[in-house]
Chains A and B, each alone.
Chain A
Amino acid sequence: MSTIDHLRAIMTKVARCDGNEIGMNTALKDVKADSLHWLQIIIRVESDFNIEIDFERMREMTSIGDFVKYIDSCTG
């Protein structure tokens, strides 16, 4: 499964986001998830990809595509 598909699956399950609304160009601010959902998404991503997300780096991200690239960079 590609990273974007995996992330979409997590976001759909954890935050009940509409998977059709999550693409590489989707702005993070447009994702319909509150702060508790985001925490759960992060925990799930860290667990599934076996990575540790740097919140400081997250500040620089504006889109789902940025998030996907960051995950890929962590997993090598």
Chain B
Amino acid sequence: MHAQPPFMVSYSITKKCNLKCKHCYSDSVDQAAPDELSTEEAFRLMDDLSEWGIGLLVIDGGEPLCRDDLLEVVKYASSKELRTTLGSNGTLITEAIAEKMLDAGLKSVAISVDGADAQTHDSFRGLSGAFQQALDGAEACKNAGLPFQFNMVIRKDTLSQLDDMLRIALERGANAAEFFDLVATRRGKQECKEQVLSPVERKQAMEQLAQSQEDCPILIRVPACPMYPLLLQEKQIQPKHFPAEMLQRIPYYRRGCAAAMPMGYVMIQANGEVNPCMLLQVKMGNIREQSIASIWEHSPAVAELRNRELLKGECGKCSHKLTCSGCRGRAYEETGDMLAADPGCWLPLEAATEGAERDKEYGKIG
């Protein structure tokens, strides 16, 4: 028997984008890359994913709507019984396009909203008016009956806006809110590294979101922060609007970082390169040379990542290493070692503080 396939695969169908976001993990520009998978190659990928038994496919980019054959690919994926969703900046979604995507079999759209106001969002996304266009895109989805969620990046500039961002998601009719903990990778390293939260800020943000979940009628997910579910458990968060067991459906709820883990997640770039995660761009292989299932099974990089006993530093010593493991992408981007301790985790700081306080107490007694 093989390793369990990921529950979700994302495919960045193009590097072309109409925005120029500061944090872009795919370094997207206004031109498609010359080596992107062709339509036929994308179809073959859909065949392989279907045969592999993949349950959830996210097509993103770049901006996927910049690719002319997007609807063809969505339609083909859906015909192969792949539950297909889209990650989009929302600016190009009109009601007519939303209807076409729905007809093609698309199940939902994740629209990026990176601030509670136009100035915060537009300055981060590199286009004046992008905030309103994203909200208009959401409205178009709503009118067409296409479910959507909001994806939002948590960074220093949005720390004070979390409540308002959640409120906007609710007011606009989003069915989930996904708060991405900013990891500076690719363009983000040059343009917004100073926006990455400190461990203390991260904990405050996560506590706020965990507390918000109690009253929030939609599910809040927090990719790139596998410590978040620890807080949900520690605080025994009981959502009022849905069963608490729904929280356990957050895939990394009990097993930590999902990057390339069995029943976790894997990402395919526009040129067919396979990475454990959009934030952990270590080459596992390329689907032009090897099937995705074979890459999943045989990549040496993955074998290391899946062995939590190999985790180093504080993550290696942590009692939560099997249920959290830290964000492997952040560890890689900040240290160059994907097995290093997650430098964004607040637990070592707290342990050090508690240790110092204990020492102080013992000192008093002594």
Contacts and interface: CB of A to CB of B under 8 A. Distances in A.
A42 B263 contact: yes
B5 A35 contact: yes
B251 interface: yes
Interface stretch (B52-60, B183-191, B325-333, B358-366): B52-60
B204 interface: no
Contact of B6 (A33, A35, A43): A35
Nearest to A40: B249
Contacts of A39: 7, 55, 251, 263
Interface in A27-76: 28, 33-40, 42-43, 46-47, 52, 55, 58-62
A33 B261 CA distance: 19
B7 A55 contact: no
Contacts, number: 56
A55 B3 contact: yes
B8 interface: yes
A36 B3 contact: no
A34 B245 contact: no
Interface residues of A, number: 20
Nearest to A44: B245
A34 B1 contact: no
A60 B54 CA distance: 20
Interface residue range, chain B:
20 to 34
Given A40-B249, A43-B249, A55-B262, A35 B3 contact: no
Interface in B27-80: 52-56
A71 to B, nearest CB: 16
Contact of A38 (B1, B3, B254, B263): B263
B4 interface: yes
A35 B54 contact: yes
Per DSSP, chain A at the interface is helix
A51 B144 CA distance: 43
Per DSSP, chain B at the interface is loop
Contact of B55 (A36, A58, A60, A62): A36
Interface in B98-156: none
A59 B263 contact: no
Most chain A CB neighbours (cut-off 10 Å) among B4, B5, B52: B4
A34 B4 contact: no
Nearest to B248: A43
Nearest to A62: B1
Contacts of A62: 1
Nearest to A27: B1
B55 A35 contact: yes
B1 A36 contact: no
Interface string B243-256: 00100110100100
Contacts of A52: 254
A35 B7 contact: yes
24 contacts: A34-B54, A34-B55, A34-B81, A34-B83, A35-B5, A35-B6, A35-B7, A35-B54, A35-B55, A35-B263, A36-B7, A36-B55, A38-B55, A39-B7, A39-B55, A40-B249, A42-B263, A43-B248, A46-B254, A55-B262, A58-B4, A59-B3, A61-B1, A62-B1
Given A35-B55, A38-B263, 12 more contacts: A28-B1, A35-B4, A35-B6, A36-B7, A36-B56, A43-B249, A47-B245, A52-B254, A55-B3, A58-B1, A59-B4, A60-B1
